[in-house]
Structure 1
Amino acid sequence: MAKSRNAAETKAAKAEAKAARKAASKQRRSQLWQAFQIQRKEDKRLLPYMIGALVLIVAVAVAAGILLGGISMYTLPVLGIVLGLLVAFIIFGRRAQKSVYSKAEGQTGAAAWALENLRGKWRVTPAVAATGHFDAVHRVIGRPGVIFVGEGSPARVKPLLAQEKKRTARLVGEVPIYDIVVGNGEGEVPLAKLERHLSKLPANITVKQMDSLESRLVALGSKAGPGAVPKGPLPASAKMRGVQRSARRR
């Protein structure tokens, strides 16, 4: 009796999990479709680029199949269609990402939003220091070490960065400390290139050292009060970041 009840409960749990996965998958597809429709209306070159890439790759695959003959005449066109669809999807994801960043550029909280959506094992603490003008310094812990990212007026952000580096250096010892100012001026990193810039920094510490470093830096606290920096720059457009993640997974 007990075994029968347990089997029934297990079956029900599996069915519930399957239904949840189907619902999540359906929601992702719906979000992708909505994002595609929005991007298509805003970006007139999107469809020509996607269709052009698909047609070109399929044409090359068909031509190669004819030249090689045999079973390749059937397999290569199919492979070309799959590859063409994948490339078209990548084009959509990248142009959507570019659109999101161009809208976020220059808005208060844009750098914090971009950092909190980083891929990989990054530990982000937004607004560890800020001014009344919404200039802010965000702390990132990663394999390179400690990175401070400032956004706002360079004249006000640079002194904040210097203060945070000095405070942090007392605790981290030999761990490298980097500083970045987000912007389009000389020596600054554009918002759209921020993630790429961070990923190019050398790996200096291990993940275990990151954990230890994070626990030590928590003791420093924050110089910025609550609400010093808005949560994000584009509540609606930020959803596109989920689209980019979905595109990378597929």
Structure 2
Amino acid sequence: MAAKERGAAPPAKKPGRIAQVKQVFLSAKAVDPAIGWWMALAALGVLVVAAVVGIIFSALIYALIIGLPLAFLAATIVLSRRAERAAYKQIEGQPGAVGAALRSIRRGWYIEETPVAADAQRATDLQSAALVYRAVGRPGIVLIGEGPPGRAQKLLAAERRKVERVASGVPVTLLRVGDGGTEDEVTIRKLANRVQRMKPVLTKDEVSVVNKRLKSIGGVRPPLPKGVDPTKVRMDRKAMRGR
């Protein structure tokens, strides 16, 4: 066995569970200042229930001993839910939010993290751009648009025609990020869940073939505003660890 190199830095230790919870809490509190009160309320509620049960069965101390870890668990669940909400709130309305949200889909999908189509009225203003992202999975092809509603719809329709030329017969679903007021509109927070809950119709092998066909489209994508990279939009991953 080769000797260890002198002066080599030891591998960084992963933070413990308590340290992780603290990181998540601090990240979420910056967006949701009331998160500490909600956690305390959840923990207190569990302790009150435990105390009542303990009094009824004349085992108050025993009930509180059991109630303490349950109270901590309740607080961490509240932290997880509100931290997730805070993470999405950080990216809501930002160009590239769809790409950031789709990264939370872990398996079974081919995700294009950069826009497959874009339409910007002014080259210096990404806020005016309509963007389309693509995901391919067993439910078929999903195209998600963000940006000004009218232009996003037109861009989605154009991209749909393009993918149908190379993947004829494959289901294509169009979604647009918004306030969720219509059937084809979804909030950024519910986007990943909406995509993952779609009914599968293709086999894994078929998904792979479809993805390769779509990759072959290639070509020059519509230009994005100069100097702007929507893929740099990131959700706070620390705030998502509690999920």
TM-score, length-scaled by structure 1: 0.76
In 1, the alpha carbon distance for the partners of 2:58 and 2:136 equals 55
Supply the distance in 1 between the matched residues of 2:66 and 2:205 (Cα, whole angstroms): 43
Provide the residue aligned with 2:115 in structure 1: 127
Q: How far off is 1:23 after superposition?
A: 0.9
- Which consecutive segments of 4 or more residues in structure 1 shift more than 4 A? 28-32, 225-229
Query: Where does residue 113 of structure 1 map in the other structure?
Result: 100
Q: Does 1:202 align with 2:199?
A: yes
Using CA pairs under 8 Å that are at least 6 residues apart, name the structure with larger relative contact order, 1 or 2: 2
Select which of 177, 180, 184 maps to 1:182. 177
Instruction: Identify the structure with the greater helix proportion.
Output: 1
Task: State the AA in 2 paired with 1:53.
Answer: A
Aligned residue pair count: 226
Partner Cα separation in structure 1 for residue 143 and residue 196 of structure 2: 14
Q: Is the 8 A contact 1:54 1:84 kept in 2?
A: yes
Q: Give 2:239's aligned amino acid.
A: V
Kindly indicate whether the alpha-carbon contact (under 8 Å) linking 1:137 and 1:157 is maintained by their aligned counterparts in 2. Answer: yes
Superposition deviation, residue 208 in structure 1: 3.0
Aligned counterparts of 1:34 and 1:232: Cα–Cα separation in 2: 22
Could you tell me which runs of 5 or more consecutive residues in structure 2 were left unpaired when the two chains were aligned.
Answer: 122-128
Check the 8 A contact 1:145/1:204 in 2, yes or no: yes
**TM-score by structure 2 length?**
0.78
Percent identity at matched positions? 30
Gaps of 5+ in 1: none
Alignment-derived partner of residue 85 in structure 2: 98
1:83 matched to 2:64? The reply is no
Match of 1:243 in 2: 239
Shift of 1:149: 0.3
Residues 243, 176 of structure 1: alpha-carbon distance in 2 compared, 3 angstrom cutoff:
same
Shift in CA distance, 83/120, structure 1 to aligned 2, threshold 3 Å: farther
